[in-house]
Structure 1
Amino acid sequence: MLTTAARKTVWGKLRMCGTVLMLTASLVLGGISLEGATTYAAGANYYVSPTGSDNNSGTSTSEAWKTLQYAADSAGAGDTVYVMDGVYQQKLKITHSGSAAEGPITFKSYTPQTAILDGTGLSVADSEGLIEITDASHIVLEDFEIRNYKTTTKDKIPSGILITGAGSNITIRNNYIHAIENNATLRSDLSGRDAHGIAVYGTKAPQSLSNISIIGNTLSDLILGSSESMVVNGNVDGFLIEGNIVHDNDNIGIDVIGFEGTSPNSAYDQARNGIVRENLVYNITSINNPSYGKSLPNDSYGADGIYVDGGKDTLIERNMSYNNDIGIEIASEHSGKSTSNITVRNNIVANNNYTGIAMGGYDKKRGSTVDCKVIGNTLYKNDTKGLDGGQMLLQYDTKNNVIKNNIFVASSSKLMISNPFTQNTGNQVDYNLYYVTGGASSAEWQWKNVSYTGFAAYKSGTSLDSHSLFADPLLVDPAAGNYTLSASSPAINAGENLGSIVGDKDYKGSDRVKGGNIDIGADEY
């Protein structure tokens, strides 16, 4: 088990080598208020223990209750339920709310112990979480291990934590979620096999799920079928996904979804106004996932580290996404529907199997990517399987997007930008830095389904990247995960200052703009 202390140690080591920035968070970020920022009158403290009794008072460790559900049904606004060390083969359904005036209802392990919720042998309903929060507000859930919730039955969807309905001010923090699995035999259409680590489904309208904070959790070893490790879906308006570690799962790491009919009113059926920040996502691949099929080589490399599928008005910044199938994707799988106003900035995207950053629908039956910005990212040696995804992939129907100030270092495929569709209008591409071993004449681009070999031929044929460079960015030690710029890097001061849209901080937390100049890539020297 990876304890909270161990997770902090992992992050500390990564910070030391410059791969991720410090996971410091202010109490209010992007308009999202975190429970605990306000001082409330002291509520009651209650205790749960495997050796307790629900006939006890619950008010001390010696008088602890036995069941989580009894505690959830008894606690009120401002109260804290401390769950003591042990394994609880119990489900937890939270339906009572805290309040803005009196404070949240908090459920947490009794520090320094770690309470384990284990789903071994527990049934799974049509869609059910080992922990569920339904139509509740002002809830904090932290420091639990959640594991072994599994099914082999089609159309049963287990989740580690499931939040549904409408509500606000819910914080999910520092939990370790693993071994959530759906191992059902698939139908001929590859459906019937789904699971989630953490799922947030806004299933009402106009009332939304808002001010949802998912912070510092670890999600690993999940068997998800066609679903996601961590997802916000439907009428979710205002969320923060920050400082999580998501790894070694067989489908998408973090997903922001719209247009799936999750909300009963289509006008509210998009997750929106969110921040996906400072997450570490790696080893996310569908290569052995039977839900993807095996008809084409890249069908098996379809799992995104971070994905926006139909979401809108969301910021994706200062994440590290590596060794996945696709590093980051902003797309829409729904015909006639757009993913829009997504900003992808100051991320490290490296060594992903198919492509680094993708946008647009994956075929002509899908939707579009509109008015999005991909700015100041470092894309390093993606397309490791040589699947023609390049460092960046523009798929079907991309409109009025901005692609600037990015470093593109190609893998052995030598492909920088791949764009096999002609439905490509109003996209701006400039002030980037490109590099591949072998030099500018060997590098490859594809634009509106026309291929170019050589940097000069690409610029002449497309009229793009007139201010861009082809040069070694002189990263300090990318093989060791250090993507910072060395003192002599040509990326220094070579970007376009686009104002506030570039963000205040680079991926490691340094000031982004100094003296009016800005560096190309995710690091500000």
Structure 2
Amino acid sequence: MVIQGFSLSAYLAIPVLLSLLAEGESIKVPLVENVHQISTKKEMLLSSRELISAQATPKTYYVSGAGNDQNSGLSTSSAFRTIQRAANLTNPGDTVLIMNGVYTNSAKAGSVVHIKRSGTAKAWIKYKAYPGHLPKIQHNTWNGILVSNGASYIEINGLEVIGNNANITLDYAMSQKTNKLNPLTNGNCINVDGRTNGHSRHIRIVNNKVHKCGGAGISAIESDYVTIDNNVVFDNAWYSVYGCSGISMLNNWNSDNNRGYKMFVTNNKSYNNRMYIPWIAVGKITDGNGIIIDSTRNDQNNSKLGAYKGYTLVQNNLTFNNGGSGIHAFLSEHVDIVNNTAVLNNQSPEINGGQIFAHTSSDVRILRNILYAFPGKQVNNNTKNTNVVYDYNIYINSSKVSVKGPRDIVADSQFLSKYPTLEKISGDWKLRLDKQNPPKRTYVEPQSAGFVCGTVTYRLQGKLIKVGCSR
């Protein structure tokens, strides 16, 4: 696969940055909530072809806020009341369509929905919002949605998951800073947990709104082939003692020996995720990142998983106002961080790691990103890394650039007023770069069997140039 030139998607954030500079050193969420993220690569294109059920008669179960678990669940008029009732019945190829309603956990339950049953490669199990509906999963327990027990070939699509932050004060959370067992403060929104009873693989978490969880927004732990795409993730990680973030992948697990892309974090918006309670393991604020790829080497805590062999792609994400980094790889290998925008992260006074960076990692490529840091704070760093490449990035209003690639650009705010402008031609966004001509870049990515990506087009000095890849 080959991508040439600068990315279009990153430059779509430039109008946002112009608005940002006009507002001063703050970002207003409405400025960025509707910024269109153009995907040049989506695993979903492959997965949608695989989601053809091999089952002769796949079932569709319906769940409604006005339903009853004594119903059959097989029509909108006989819908179940709880998503868990449907989850307990699913077989490969089944779909659970969730209608309007607020779905909460029972008093002693560890989650609103606990997914333990698997689909197959040709018959995924899908949990989706009913067309036109906006169901809400609201919880005060350990997880809004938990995928465990090795459940695989699962899709979670179009749901809103809300945690317990609105019911917690900072004073109460501080009083619980040594309590590992309090779900009121430590609860996650969507959690794929492969640490007990089997590892999960082939999980798609797409098009969800995930917010106000004291713990992680979306996390995948000891799992493989996970796609986290087009989610909006905000106001998470505030009160947990476990050092959480908006979107996190921890200790990726090898289900096979494929060395292509297997883990995807793409097209998400992740903001206002922040730690207010010290991580209990070290007694200080460490995380609250927009996106973190964490410990894929699996060489900590006597792990027996072995180093993760696959590649992780972090692409086309927008991260801002997070307490920790916008995006970073930590103790990890084989990570590509490409075409992202990270703005005014490192909100926590204790954190100065940078907007996008790698730390104690190897074989990481950080390419064609836009980074905007607070004056006086680092925009990136290169601590204890080997074979980490920074190139074709734009650092705006940044005096502390710890590592600068050969074609990275360090720019002030005036750069934005004269560099690229966007125009719409024939219904598609094109990028006009009449003022400057950035050097061409050929970026060869690891093979991924059967992979298909989208194509975008931009205008460079009068020529229309296509950017994309295919098999």
Alignment of 1:309 with 2:303, yes or no, is no
The structure that is strand-richer by fraction is: 1
Q: What amino acid sits opposite 2:367 in the alignment? A: I
Query: Aligned to 1:404, which of 382, 387, 391?
Result: 391
C-alpha distance in 2 between matches for 1:162 and 1:134: 9
CA 1:499–1:267: 2 relative to 1, 3 Å: closer
Q: Superposed, which structure 2 residues align to 1:95-494 within 5 Å?
A: 98=92, 104-110=93-99, 114-119=100-105, 122-124=106-108, 128-137=110-119, 138-143=124-129, 145-150=135-140, 158-181=142-165, 191-192=180-181, 193-203=185-195, 208-224=199-215, 228-234=216-222, 236-249=223-236, 250=238, 251-258=244-251, 273-286=262-275, 289-292=276-279, 300=285, 302-311=287-296, 312=308, 313-325=311-323, 326-332=325-331, 339-353=332-346, 354=352, 355-360=354-359, 368-379=360-371, 381-383=372-374, 386=376, 388=377, 390-395=378-383, 397-411=384-398, 414-417=399-402, 429-436=405-412, 474-476=419-421, 487-490=433-436, 492-494=437-439
Q: CA offsets, 1:182-240, max 9 Å, x none?
A: 955656657555221111012368x641111010001112222xxx2111111x11111
CA 1:176–1:68: 2 relative to 1, 3 Å: closer
Corresponding residue SS for 2:272: strand
C-alpha distance in 1 between matches for 2:35 and 2:321: 18
Q: What amino acid sits opposite 2:208 in the alignment? A: N
Q: CA offsets, 1:293-326, max 9 Å, x none?
A: 9x99xx6574210101113520001111122231
Q: CA offsets, 1:64-111, max 9 Å, x none?
A: 4555554444x453xxxxxxxxxxxxxxxxxxxx1xxxxx2211124x
CA contact (8 A) 2:431 2:460 kept: no
CA contact (8 A) 2:96 2:128 kept: yes
C-alpha distance in 1 between matches for 2:382 and 2:83: 48
Question: How many residues are treated as equivalent by the alignment?
Answer: 380
Deviation at 1:149, TM superposition (A): 1.6
Query: Aligned to 1:28, which of 32, 45, 54?
Result: 45
Deviation at 1:284, TM superposition (A): 1.9
Corresponding residue SS for 1:28: helix
CA contact (8 A) 1:432 1:495 kept: no
Q: Superposed, which structure 2 residues align to 1:21-100 within 5 Å?
A: 21=38, 27-29=44-46, 32=47, 36-37=51-52, 41-49=56-64, 56-66=71-81, 68-73=83-88, 75-77=89-91, 98=92
CA contact (8 A) 1:475 1:484 kept: no
Higher relative contact order at CA 8 Å, sep ≥6: structure 1 or structure 2? 2
TM-score (norm 2): 0.67
Q: CA offsets, 1:258-292, max 9 Å, x none?
A: 18xxx8x9999xxx820111111122222xx1235
In the alignment, which residue of structure 2 is the partner of 1:422? Answer: none
C-alpha distance in 2 between matches for 1:139 and 1:256: 22
TM-score (norm 1): 0.61
C-alpha distance in 2 between matches for 1:495 and 1:430: 13
Deviation at 1:348, TM superposition (A): 1.2
CA contact (8 A) 1:23 1:243 kept: no
C-alpha distance in 2 between matches for 1:51 and 1:437: 53
Q: What amino acid sits opposite 2:321 in the alignment? A: N
Deviation at 1:159, TM superposition (A): 0.8
CA 1:406–1:52: 2 relative to 1, 3 Å: closer
CA contact (8 A) 1:159 1:180 kept: no
Percent identity of equivalent pairs: 21
Deviation at 1:497, TM superposition (A): 2.6
CA 1:474–1:168: 2 relative to 1, 3 Å: same
C-alpha distance in 2 between matches for 1:212 and 1:373: 25
Q: What amino acid sits opposite 1:159 in the alignment? A: N
Deviation at 1:61, TM superposition (A): 4.4
CA contact (8 A) 1:307 1:330 kept: yes
Q: Which runs of 5+ in 2 are unaligned?
A: 1-29, 239-243, 297-307, 347-351, 423-428, 466-471
In the alignment, which residue of structure 1 is the partner of 2:12? Answer: none
C-alpha distance in 1 between matches for 2:458 and 2:288: 31
CA contact (8 A) 1:23 1:278 kept: no
Deviation at 1:378, TM superposition (A): 1.3
CA 1:189–1:500: 2 relative to 1, 3 Å: same
CA 1:372–1:129: 2 relative to 1, 3 Å: same
C-alpha distance in 2 between matches for 1:46 and 1:231: 26
In the alignment, which residue of structure 1 is the partner of 2:21? Answer: none
Q: Which runs of 5+ in 1 are unaligned?
A: 1-12, 78-97, 99-103, 152-157, 333-338, 361-367, 419-427, 439-469, 478-482, 520-525
CA 1:245–1:24: 2 relative to 1, 3 Å: farther
Q: CA offsets, 1:443-466, max 9 Å, x none?
A: xxxxxxxxxxxxxxxxxxxxxxxx
Deviation at 1:352, TM superposition (A): 1.7
Query: Aligned to 2:441, which of 487, 490, 496?
Result: 496
C-alpha distance in 2 between matches for 1:34 and 1:217: 21
Q: What amino acid sits opposite 2:441 in the alignment? A: E
CA contact (8 A) 1:215 1:242 kept: yes
Cα root mean square deviation, aligned: 4.4
Q: What amino acid sits opposite 2:38 in the alignment? A: L
User: Which one has the largest radius of gyration?
Assistant: 1
C-alpha distance in 1 between matches for 2:49 and 2:226: 10
C-alpha distance in 1 between matches for 2:286 and 2:178: 18
